[in-house]
Amino acid sequence: MAEYANIIVDISQEKLDKTFQYRIPKRLEKSIVVGMQVQVPFGNRRITGYVVELTDKPEYDEEKIKEILQIVRSSIPIESHLIALAGWMRRNYGGTMNHALKTVIPIKEKKRAVEHKKVCLCVHPMEAKNELAECVRKHSTARAKLLEALLREGELEWELITGKLGVSSAVIRALEEKGVVRILRETEYRNPVGHLSKGEYRQKLNEEQTLVAQTVKAEYDAGIRQTYLLWGVTGSGKTEVYMELIAHVTEQGKQAIVLIPEIALTYQTVMRFYNRFGNRVSILNSRMTAGERYDQFLRAKKGEIDIMIGPRSALFTPFLNLGLIIIDEEHETSYKSENVPRYHARETAIERARMMGASVILGSATPSVASFYKAKSGAYRLLELTQRVKEKPLPTCEIVDLREELRHGNRSILSARLAELIEDRLKKRQQIMLFLNRRGLSGFVSCRACGHVLKCPHCDVSLSQHTGGRMVCHYCGYEQPEPKTCPSCGSRYISGFKAGTQKIEQVVKQRFPQARVLRMDLDTTRSREGHEHILSAFANQEADILIGTQMIVKGHDFPQVTLVGVLAADLSLHVGDYQAPERTFQLLTQAAGRAGRGELPGQVVIQTYDPTHYSIVDASRQDYDGFYKKELEYRKLMLYPPIWNLLLILCASEKEEAAMQGAEKLAEKLDSFADGAAAERIFRIGPADATVAKVNDIYKKVIYLKAEHYQTLVLIKDKAEQFIRENKDYKNVTVWFDFNPINGA
């Protein structure tokens, strides 16, 4: 029996980021395990902490070591491997151990077990159909949606209805009162859709799919564990391959985690997994309460399920016998956490898999440049699916040069060609999507006559507009005044690029008064159900045109859409971030993939001031290889990731002076840390204002470091953390780290 426990106390402060030792009282000797949450005296308070290690070796004067007060009854012991993973995250992404522990234990406190409910029809299906028709007539979309699903499925889990279906509990209760549905209550944990028979909808894999599945299975059975990159065009049947591999490992008593970006975690996707695996599957999503999430984690721990599907945080499902982690749409930026520790789910999954002897499958139609680079260099094994299962041709794609439009006197955001095609589709009663690929803040300035964009001469990223007519680089702080005429062609049509979805809606309505228009952006989706509401209205053909930001291009199938218009591809191309071409290529490829999903062929129009940019040209040709080669050349030239590694250090303070001084002092120090850390060359860029230099009265300054090796940056981070801890100038300055940042700062 160990005498002492090393404990991380539950206070996220740099200064307390170490373990504290406590004595284990006799009465708790048998029950204390690593991972447990306990209460301890701290100063003159009682606080909670996690046991991270048990030992017989006192680290202080034995007399002075205090006793653990009690075990926090509601705590669940987290597995020691999750603590090890937290340790790895802390080291590789910065922040405190407490931050890291909180990330790997998303639900800390045991909530009262929620009552599980399901809903079923309690009238004859004919009667339900009449009721459904009535609801459709009255435009009661939520009621209609629920009835439709119940007619199809018989009964549904309450959480599935209020979560994925997006139907509120008030709607269910109203239908119960009418005597149309019944709510069944159960108190024990149960599977979300237990009535579905397992294996019902299994597809026979085609040749390409079989080859991929066989390769992974054979290696798995031979004990080979590694990371695979499954590169397969949309609709090539990746999900079927995932399910085949999950079946293979679960048959051997292992478990699997499937990460899917929340926005693509649709009811249909979830249903496909349920249909195949029945009650062995569970899902996590951000709409669940802490208690509901806790339930799912508990089910995983108890071995009631062996497949967990969910966004980033599902990675920490406490499975003990993990065999496989799948990351679908691996290029998605939502896999990078925006909170400390700013971990990337892809790298963290690979580390968790390594610790537990599991394999990882990364899947995408447009792999991230970072992953493709690793696949090419042999760190990952590349697998390909080159054909769509249903042999549907890819849509045709044309690029419209907006500079030409201006030359012909058209100053509207709709080019003549796009307007003509919209007119045509409206006549044919087919649907149209207009896409504004705005991402983050696009504060760039460009010439509408020649397309010239103001860029930083040092970093080759777009300069951003600031108050007082200044143009600033957010990597290095380079600054120049905003020009009145184009430095390239002399035109006066040089200005910031401003076009919002609302403005476009106005223009479209004016031009096509007969069209029924829906708009989807942050404003129209603020409510919990706004998002699903608009999408289902469009799917039910209650509108002809859907205008929106990236939300509209991900993972939704609208078979009646035959025209997709990208209004200004430049919006994502000039965001002042080295990854802008990569994002643009991905967004355009995805947007194009929205056209022609049904029986009718699709057409795509990409409007731009930069019609020869490789990210736009290659996206219009769906030429990933071509894009990748050019993009890698650019990264090599500029030493951007994945060629080198980038560390962003953010200094924030309520006082601008303090933030700037903190950043400057640290920058100076960094150079000496770098000298001591490695013999290799390190570049420092900045300090400069962050992209959003002031948020909620907090000023933010950034420093970038570039080094060839990631671990060199980790060493510098460690020294920087120590310096900050020991220096009282940082009392009012918060400093955090972001390795290979995804969204800039």
Tell me: does residue 367 bind ligand ADP (CB under 6 A).
no
With residue 480 as reference, give the H or E element that holds it.
Answer: strand 479-481
Candidate segments 88-96, 107-115, 199-207, 643-651, binder of ligand ADP by CB under 6 A? 199-207
Whole-angstrom CA distances from 185 to 17, 114, 119, 120, 675 are 46, 11, 9, 11, 65
The strand pairing partners of 469, in sequence order, are: none
Q: Which is nearer to ligand ADP, 240 or 330 (CB)?
A: 240
Q: Which is nearer to ligand ADP, 375 or 422 (CB)?
A: 375
String of contacts with ligand ADP for each residue 474-513, x by CB under 6 A: ----------------------------------------
Tell me: does residue 639 bind Zn ion (CB under 5 A).
no
Taking the complex as a whole, the smallest distance from the CB of residue 645 to Zn ion amounts, in Å, to 18
Q: Considering CB distances under 5 to 8 angstroms, the limit depending on partner class, which of ligand ADP, Zn ion, none binds residue 264?
A: none
Residue among 7, 68, 72, 205 that touches ligand ADP (CB under 6 A)? 205
Q: Residue 650 carries which DSSP code?
A: E
| Residues between 219 and 238 with contacts to ligand ADP, criterion CB under 6 A | 232, 234-238
| C-alpha closest to that of 84 among 101, 108, 96, 107 | 101
Tell me: does residue 635 bind ligand ADP (CB under 6 A).
no
Residue among 389, 515, 537, 539 that touches ligand ADP (CB under 6 A)? 389
| C-alpha closest to that of 459 among 480, 471, 473 | 473
String of contacts with Zn ion for each residue 475-514, x by CB under 5 A: xx-x-------x-xx-x-----------------------
Q: SS3 for 450?
A: coil
Tell me: does residue 203 bind ligand ADP (CB under 6 A).
yes
| C-alpha closest to that of 369 among 397, 387, 350, 346 | 346
Phi and psi dihedrals of 689, rounded to 5? -65, 145
Q: SS3 for 704?
A: strand
Q: SS3 for 99?
A: helix
Taking the complex as a whole, the smallest distance from the CB of residue 569 to Zn ion amounts, in Å, to 18
Q: Is 541 left (phi over 0), alpha (psi -120 to 50) or beta?
A: left
What is the rounded distance in angstroms from the CA atom of residue 72 to the CA atom of residue 277? 36
Taking the complex as a whole, the smallest distance from the CB of residue 299 to Zn ion amounts, in Å, to 50
* 533: amino acid identity, one letter: H
Q: Which is nearer to ligand ADP, 209 or 337 (CB)?
A: 209
Q: Which is nearer to ligand ADP, 202 or 694 (CB)?
A: 202
String of contacts with Zn ion for each residue 271-310, x by CB under 5 A: ----------------------------------------
Report whether 161 contacts 167 (CB < 8 A).
Answer: yes
Taking the complex as a whole, the smallest distance from the CB of residue 139 to Zn ion amounts, in Å, to 50
Taking the complex as a whole, the smallest distance from the CB of residue 554 to ligand ADP amounts, in Å, to 12
With residue 536 as reference, give the H or E element that holds it.
Answer: helix 530-539
The burial class, CB within 10 Å (0-12 / 13-18 / 19+), for 625 is exposed
Taking the complex as a whole, the smallest distance from the CB of residue 194 to ligand ADP amounts, in Å, to 23
Over its C-alpha atoms, the chain yields an Rg (Å, rounded) of 28
Q: Which is nearer to Zn ion, 478 or 723 (CB)?
A: 478
What is the rounded distance in angstroms from the CA atom of residue 289 to the CA atom of residue 310? 14
Q: Which is nearer to ligand ADP, 94 or 232 (CB)?
A: 232
Residue among 299, 425, 452, 533 that touches Zn ion (CB under 5 A)? 452
The strand pairing partners of 472, in sequence order, are: 464, 479
Candidate segments 32-40, 201-209, 476-484, 661-669, binder of ligand ADP by CB under 6 A? 201-209
**Which are the contacts of 285, defined by CB distance < 8 A and separation ≥ 6?**
163, 164, 262, 265, 310, 311
Tell me: does residue 447 bind Zn ion (CB under 5 A).
yes
Tell me: does residue 381 bind Zn ion (CB under 5 A).
no
| C-alpha closest to that of 157 among 199, 116, 200, 115 | 116
Tokens of 458: 């040092």
Q: Which is nearer to ligand ADP, 206 or 279 (CB)?
A: 206
Give me the residues that bind ligand ADP (CB under 6 A), please. 203-206, 209, 232, 234-240, 389-390
Give me the residues that bind Zn ion (CB under 5 A), please. 447, 449-450, 452, 456, 458-459, 473, 475-476, 478, 486, 488-489, 491
